[in-house]
Amino acid sequence: MMDDTRTRLVESALRLLREEGLDAVTLRAVGDLTGLSRTAPYRHFTDKTALLAALAVRVIADLSAHVAAAISQEAGRRDRLRAFYLSYVKYATAHREEYRLVFASEFLAGHHPELEEAIDQVTTALGMAGTGEGPVPKAQLMALLSTAHGLAELAVAGQLAHKGIGYGDIVDVLVAPYGG
Amino acid sequence: MMDDTRTRLVESALRLLREEGLDAVTLRAVGDLTGLSRTAPYRHFTDKTALLAALAVRVIADLSAHVAAAISQEAGRRDRLRAFYLSYVKYATAHREEYRLVFASEFLAGHHPELEEAIDQVTTALGMAGTGEGPVPKAQLMALLSTAHGLAELAVAGQLAHKGIGYGDIVDVLVAPYGG
DNA sequence: CCAGCTACGTTGACATTGTCAACACAGGCT
DNA sequence: AGCCTGTGTTGACAATGTCAACGTAGCTGG
């Protein structure tokens, strides 16, 4: 598998994303950091957006694992739900730039099947973390994901802190309807 | 006040955004369309992001009005809630590029007070559309906004259609816990 | 074994774009 | 009148995504 270089490119991009932010992820910088030349990425990705999509896939996989781990430590339905929300938002706020990329790339999902697949992984991870009382309907899973997603964005944007609200407060509201 | 030109610039930007998408909103294009020269925007905005922030304020005001109008036509708590979600997501999907801008600019909210103010307007509009049974707590409002926001993004990104779910289905789930 | 194709990588060049500096000009204030 | 300030213009520059042309190593089929 000669994806070796490809992986290294994505890894370089991830490092740039983490250390210098989304704007620093330029094809030239990625090439440099990988020890290659500026246009090297074009041998492995058709486009810059293709690189970003691959990077987003990595980030989403991380996020997904993080969330799944957090959920698996809880037992009751309500606690699992809370763990889901909290871990999701916590990851987002702790990795601002990565989450920013995820947002941006969602708009490209249609053109990048792997991205859609990665997003699917999050939902299935969520589904498996259900109550054990049978499969959770898709619409319900997407409702959860929507909420977590929106909450994460507001938190990252500082819209909550700005109002003196912690995201924990909102999670309380969201979890309230569900019994223990 | 000579904000006239400033307004015209924003209006040109809005037209570009609607007709050719976010990527077409370039300072040069805005200048051209306004009948001015490429760097003219610099006399009214410190930055390109400042222009975009002003544009986002306009868009959010539109969205806010749209949502407020939809809510005001419903009476019961549940119906209002449903109207809120539906009108919000409908606006987002019907104005993809505009909503894309809103997403992008949220990350700049910290640096642009007017933007935060505009976002506040949405929540207060939401608050006034409450049940009439006293003010709705902030955390609850933000929870609603989060959900609508996240749902809108998934819808715009095509993540729902891709699964054969309409956003109406999800709204049903979201509204379910609230009695008529 | 050799000709040649393919994958991978490099340099050069280009258009676009955000941004700044230098200049022009008009109107109101002193 | 003299001048400052707001508004606008052109020229220039660096960064960036992208393409074209070129090089090269290695495997493949004859």
* Averaged pLDDT for residues B68-79: 93
Q: For B155, what's the count of Cα atoms within 13 Å in the CB-facing half-sphere?
A: 29
Calculate what percentage of chain B has a pLDDT beyond 70. Answer: 94
Nearest-by-Cβ selection for A109 from B146, B158, B170:
B158
Helices then strands, counting H and E runs in chain B, come out as: 8, 0
- A143 close contact with B: CB closer than 8 A: yes
pLDDT in tens, B25-40: 999 999 999 999 999 9
Q: Which residues contact B118 (CB under 8 A, 6 or more apart)?
A: B56, B57, B60, B61, B64
pLDDT in tens, A15-37: 999 999 999 999 999 999 999 99
- A149 close contact with B: CB closer than 8 A: yes
Q: Which is more confident, B103 or B63?
A: B63
Q: Set out the domains of chain B in order of their start, with CATH numbers.
A: 1-45 (1.10.10.60), 49-175 (1.10.357.10)
Q: Which residues contact B89 (CB under 8 A, 6 or more apart)?
A: B148, B151, B152, B155, B167, B171
Q: Which residues contact A141 (CB under 8 A, 6 or more apart)?
A: A123, A126, A127
Given a cut of 90, whether residue A180 has pLDDT beyond it is no
A20-28's contacts with Cβ under 8 Å and 24+ in sequence apart are A21/A97, A22/A97, A22/A100, A22/A101, A22/A104, A25/A52, A25/A55, A27/A51
Mean pLDDT for all residues in chain B:
91
Mean pLDDT for all residues in chain A:
91
- B162 close contact with A: CB closer than 8 A: yes
- Gap between the terminal Cα atoms of chain A: 49
* pLDDT value at residue A131: 56
Chain C nucleotides covered by protein, CB below 7 Å: 7-12, 16-21
* pLDDT value at residue B141: 92
Residue spans of alpha helices (H) in B41-166: 48-72, 77-94, 96-106, 113-128, 138-156
Given a cut of 90, whether residue B69 has pLDDT beyond it is yes
* Averaged pLDDT for residues B65-90: 94
Q: Which is more confident, B102 or A136?
A: B102
CA distances from A95 to A48, A63, A166 (A): 22, 10, 17
**What six digits make up the tokens of B138?**
């902030």
Q: Which is more confident, A116 or B10?
A: B10
pLDDT in tens, B79-137: 999 999 999 999 999 999 999 999 888 777 778 888 988 988 888 888 876 655 667 88
Say if CB B125 and CB B64 are below 8 A apart.
Answer: yes
